[in-house]
Structure formats: structure tokens, C-alpha cells
A and B are shown apart, each in its own frame.
Chain A
Amino acid sequence: MTAPAGEPAIEASGVVKSFGSVQALRGVDLTVRTGMLAALLGPNGAGKTTLVRILATLLRQDSGSVRVLGHDVATHPYAVRSVIGLTGQYAGLDEALRGRDNLILIGRLAGLGRQEASQRAIELAERFGLAEAAGRAVRTYSGGMRRRLDLAASLMNRPALLILDEPSTGLDPGSRVELWAALRELRDAGATMLLTTQYLEEADRFADAVHVLDHGVIIATGTASELKTRTGTQVVDVLLAGQDAAAAKAALTARLAPADLHVDEASRRLAIVARDGLGTLLAAARVLSDSRIEVADIALRQPSLDEAFLALTSGQQPSGGPSSGGPPSGGGPAGTRSPGPQRSGARR
């Protein structure tokens, strides 16, 4: 999409916002270039929605500056509103009106003329597979249809930046796939988007850039794979052929620091932090082979984004200062976290 001469789509610096004594944002720095699909990833309560509401001019920040496509959100909110589309957490639709009437109303309030609004409503309803449903009241729609209509409504005035706040929350898997398809299509068409999500998978699949927000600060920025590598070392994943997990553990512990090894006996999986990369793999293979422990699979892999995310968001307490340069290489404290039930993530 054409950007006003290299102007970033979003440029936020030092954004602070408090609600009473609760500091929701403690100095957020965020830059999203045009043509990018940026994901704002963070656990519940990280401040994602607060940041989105400031970007969309629904809230005013306490301090710091925010520019959206070159317009200051605090001093030129109307200019910002005329170039963004917002798909909030709750559908911005009138349940009692028909789908088509929703689109037309929202398009006209966004500034389109009567003809243009109806024309575009037809186009977008078709595009999002709602041509048939467009004549029915929104209250008869399924969750997935509602989301798609909401997305269509946000696109009525051809926004230069689309902001989506947890677009897939509350959708069943089928509807989520439909929504993703729609978003992917938009991305391929060159739209600039910022989406918040708590699903790592979503950020991993779509985003050109992932910004991790935690306790009101951006603690890491990069592509999904950069984040994974940055969080630390790779992992040696071992799947045992037999039931002798305890024996494998004993054999490996003799050579490894205990925090570097995680054993999930039920699934017969071991995860070993690969401090020496391939060297760790070879060493582990030798130990297992020497101890005559049968192995079904052994592999060196990147940490999953889940693991990267947990490593990023747990260990560190926000100091208040922005640190978009990534986490300190020390990572989280060793051995203080109990790994998730399925992912036997051995993190440092």
C-alpha cells in the first residue's frame, strides 16, 4: 500500500497509561511500518487492549507520543479516525439491524456517500461470504459470521491501517480458520495491520513482526523465528522407544545439570537444553546408546514460540524502562517454572 512517504503506520514512544493506581502501560515504544502485519502478543492483562484503544483514539495516553500514519492521536483524533479501521474485542455491530444495513450505516458514518456505501457493502459482503446472510438481522448470525461482518465493517472506508483486538478470541476452530483465511488474504493484498493476540500460533503464522507486550512494556520485538532464537538455545528432543524413562534420566543426569533436563514419563519424552547445539545432541545420543536405552526419535529443534514466550514473559520484572532490544541473554531463572503439561519445554 502506498505510504505517505515512508511514514510508519504506527509510531509510539514512551506511552504511559494508568487507571487509578494500576499502571497499564509503562512506557511503550512501538513502530509498525506500512505494509506489515504486526502482532502484539501478550498474556491477559499485559496492556494490549489499552494500547489498541489509544491507537484507535478511544483512550488518551497519560504521557508519551503516538502517531498513526503521521497523525498525532492526541491532537488530531479525527484525522486518525479517518485512516484506521478498528475491529474491537466485541463486535461493533447492531444486532437488530441486517448485515447489509450495518455495513451501509458504518460506511456512511465513516464518510462514504450513499451510493458508494451500498456498492461497497455488496462487494464486502460477497468477499467475506456473507452475500446471502446480508439480508438477515445480525442476531441470527453465528460467531464466525459476526466476526467476518465486523471485519467487513472495518474495511468499509478503505482504512490505511486495520487494528484488530483479539480477533479470534471466542471463535470455534472452524470459524478461526475462516477468519485467518480472510486476514491472510488482506495481508496478501498489502494491508497494514496490527493484531493483538494471546495465541502464539497466530502470531507465528501471520505476523511479519511480533511485539511482545508484558506488564505494560514491549519486552521483545522481532520476527517469530528471531524471537525463538533470541530466547536461547535449541532443544534436544528425545522420544524413548521403551518404558525406561527413569533409567534414561539417571544416565543423562550424570552428565547434565539437572535444570537442563526435563523428563515427561507419561509420554516418554525427554527435552534437553542444547547448550552446545549439535554437541549436546551427540553427547546425549552417546549416553543413551552406552546405556542401551532404545530411542524412537531424537532431534535438535528450535524452542517453540510457546517456550520463547514463556521465557520472555516470566523471568523478568519490568523495570519501567522500555527494552525493545530483546531479553537479557540470561533468560528466566533456572528450575523455577514447572513446564506445561504437553510441551516438555526445558528452558534455562
Chain B
Amino acid sequence: MTGASVTSARAGRLDGGRRERPGPGRLARDSLLIAGRYLRILRGNPARLIYPLLQPVLILVLFVSVMENLASSVAGGAYRELLIPGIMIQNVVLTAPVTGLAIVRDADTGLADRFRSLPMSRGAVLIGRSLSDTVVFFTQALVMIGVAYLLGFHVRTGLAGIAGLVVVAVGFGTALGVTCAWLALLIGDVETAERALFFPFIPLAFVSSAYAPVGRLAGWLQPVARVNPVSSAVGVVRGLAEGGSLAPAVIHLAAWTLVLAVVPGVLAVRRWQSSP
């Protein structure tokens, strides 16, 4: 090892030291590197993937077993047809805070300071983490579809429908994860975030069409349930399963997903970079 290679007045190779803000190419590259970091950790700790996969299995089986008879006797018909899409989306909603917790846990470590002092793209940590979480949402979606199938829930639109369902789960989950990242960074403290982050999601999951048609909810809940993105996500899943018309719900959901990913995303990145 010679001294000359220790340091140099030259900067990192890509830029000659004068480059200003990294462009989109650099953002993609850095995000993939960060995603790779999280996936490597996930691979080293398979238990972290097992629990997110067990969770939907338990919830699906328990909810359906406990509610089925009661609900069907009151509501008539096959309640599970209605309930299973709701539980699928509820599960996505309850998994999203994990992204936020991971981000806030990383935010005041020495590693975060290291990242902030590197000439990397500043959105990369959030995007990278979200990318790695899509792997979790993806496998979760496949497991849910499988278990739901065993419970008698069939996607009548075939493979295209299944693919659509996966896209909804992954896309909506990731957007909510980004929102959680922003909320968690706003809270700033890991322990507080751990306790608080689930709260907005409880009404979000329940004041929706996940467990009952909007028309059967209490009157004052109905307008809220109608604009709730969870209702549109559940609506899309039901539409895919039954083969009905999707259009209004899909547009509503796509708009929500985009807004939830972009607006809190930009705010979260800004917050991340300036965390003290």
C-alpha cells in the first residue's frame, strides 16, 4: 500500500469533483445500491420475511372463521367474498408502517450521517428502502392469494386478474410505506414512532368498504369511507375477483397511490437530508 493512494485532491470518479446535484441516472443507481443493502440484510435474516408472510395467513384464516357465520346470517350471501379482499388490503395497510420505522431507525445513526456526507443522490435511501420493501409486499400478495384460494376465494379474471391484484397490493403498500416514512421522520423519535405510527391506519382500514359495503356504514362515516383510498383498493380487488367494471375505482386508486407516494416522498427526502 503506498501513501499516494490514500487520499487525493481528485474527487469521486464519476464527476471530477465539480458536479452539482446528481441526476436521475445516479438516483436510480444509488437507489438500487441501497435496495441491495436492505435485501442483503433480509437474506441474512430470513425471519424478517417469515413474519410478514405469516401475518396475512393468520389474519385471513381467523377473520374468515370467526366472522363468516355471524356475518352471513345477518348480511346474507357469502360474506367471505366481500371480506377477503378487505383483509388483503388491510394487511397491506398494516405492513406499511414497517418502512417508516426502518427509515426513522436509520435516520440518526452514524451510517445516515455517512450517507448524508456522500455525493450520492439524496432520494436514494428512501427509494432504495421502498424498493426492497416491494419484495416483501410482492411475496405477501402471493401468499395471500394462495391462502384465499384455499378458503374458496377465486379470482375469476384469471392470471391477468392475479397480476392486477399483485400490482395493487405492491403499489398501494409501497405508497403507504413512503407516507409512513415521512410521518416517522416527522415524529423523529423511534420509540414514539413505534407506538404512534399505526394509529392513522386503524381508522383508515376500518372506515372503508373493507368489512362492509359503504352503504351499510353509519351515516357520518359514509363520506369518509367513500374517499378513503382503502375503499378504492378494496373495490379494485373485488372487481378483479368478480370480473366486474373497474374504471372509477382504478382511477381513484391510481390517483391516491401517486399522491401518497410523491407528496410525502418529496417531504420525507427533504426531512431525511436535514435531520440533525
List residues of A whose CB falls within 8 A of some B CB: 1-4, 34, 56-59, 69, 76, 78-79, 81-86, 88-94, 96-97, 101, 105-106, 108-113, 116, 123, 126-127, 137, 150, 153, 155, 157-162, 185-186, 188-192
Q: How many Cβ-Cβ contacts under 8 Å join chain A to chain B? A: 142
Interchain CB contact under 8 A, A81 and B119: yes
5 closest Cβ contacts across the A-B interface? A189-B3, A92-B114, A111-B12, A90-B110, A82-B11
Interchain CB contact under 8 A, B1 and A127: yes
Interchain CB contact under 8 A, A106 and B118: yes
- Among B15-23, B154-162, B165-173, B234-242, the stretch that binds chain A is B15-23
Distance in angstroms between the alpha carbons of A91 and B114 in the assembled complex: 9
Chain B residues with CB under 8 Å of A192's CB are: 7
Interchain CB contact under 8 A, A97 and B13: no
Chain B residues with CB under 8 Å of A116's CB are: 13
Distance in angstroms between the alpha carbons of A188 and B45 in the assembled complex: 42
Interchain CB contact under 8 A, A112 and B9: no
Chain A residues with CB under 8 Å of B20's CB are: 76, 78-79
Interchain CB contact under 8 A, B110 and A93: yes
Given contacts A4-B9, A189-B6, contact A82 B114 (CB under 8 A): no
Interchain CB contact under 8 A, A186 and B6: yes
Chain A residues with CB under 8 Å of B36's CB are: 105
- Known contacts A58-B117, A85-B7; 13 additional CB pairs below 8 A are A2-B9, A4-B9, A78-B119, A82-B15, A82-B19, A90-B113, A96-B41, A97-B40, A108-B33, A157-B13, A158-B10, A185-B3, A188-B3
**B192 sits at the interface (CB 8 A):** no
Q: Please name 30 pairs of A and B residues whose Cβ atoms are closer than 8 Å in the assembled complex, sorted by A.
A: A1-B7, A1-B9, A4-B9, A57-B117, A78-B20, A78-B21, A81-B117, A82-B15, A82-B17, A82-B19, A82-B119, A84-B117, A86-B114, A88-B117, A90-B113, A91-B110, A92-B109, A93-B111, A93-B114, A94-B41, A96-B45, A106-B118, A110-B119, A116-B13, A127-B1, A155-B7, A158-B8, A160-B7, A161-B7, A191-B7
Interchain CB contact under 8 A, A97 and B19: no
CB distance from A163 to the nearest CB of B (A): 8
**Most chain B C-beta atoms within 10 Å of own C-beta, residue among A81, A93, A111, A157:** A111
- The residue from B4, B41, B111 contacting A189, defined by CB atoms under 8 A apart: B4
Interface set, chain B 38-63, CB cutoff 8 A to A:
40-41, 44-45
- The residue from B8, B17, B30, B117 contacting A79, defined by CB atoms under 8 A apart: B17
Interface flags for B123-166 (1: CB within 8 Å of A; 0: not) read 01000000000000000000000000000000000000000000
Interchain CB contact under 8 A, B6 and A158: yes
Distance in angstroms between the alpha carbons of A243 and B13 in the assembled complex: 69
**B252 sits at the interface (CB 8 A):** no
Distance in angstroms between the alpha carbons of A284 and B146 in the assembled complex: 94
Chain B residues with CB under 8 Å of A90's CB are: 109-110, 113
Q: Name the residue on A nearest B15 (C-beta).
A: A82
- The residue from B22, B40, B113 contacting A78, defined by CB atoms under 8 A apart: B22
Given contacts A79-B20, A116-B13, contact A92 B5 (CB under 8 A): no
Given contacts A78-B21, A158-B6, contact A101 B40 (CB under 8 A): yes
Chain A residues with CB under 8 Å of B9's CB are: 1-4, 34, 69, 83, 160
Distance in angstroms between the alpha carbons of A93 and B113 in the assembled complex: 10
**B115 sits at the interface (CB 8 A):** yes
Chain B residues with CB under 8 Å of A89's CB are: 110
Interchain CB contact under 8 A, A112 and B12: yes
**Most chain B C-beta atoms within 10 Å of own C-beta, residue among A76, A126, A157:** A157
Q: Name the residue on B nearest A7 (C-beta).
A: B9
CB distance from A76 to the nearest CB of B (A): 7
Given contacts A78-B20, A82-B119, contact A105 B113 (CB under 8 A): no
Q: Name the residue on B nearest A150 (C-beta).
A: B110
Distance in angstroms between the alpha carbons of A186 and B21 in the assembled complex: 30
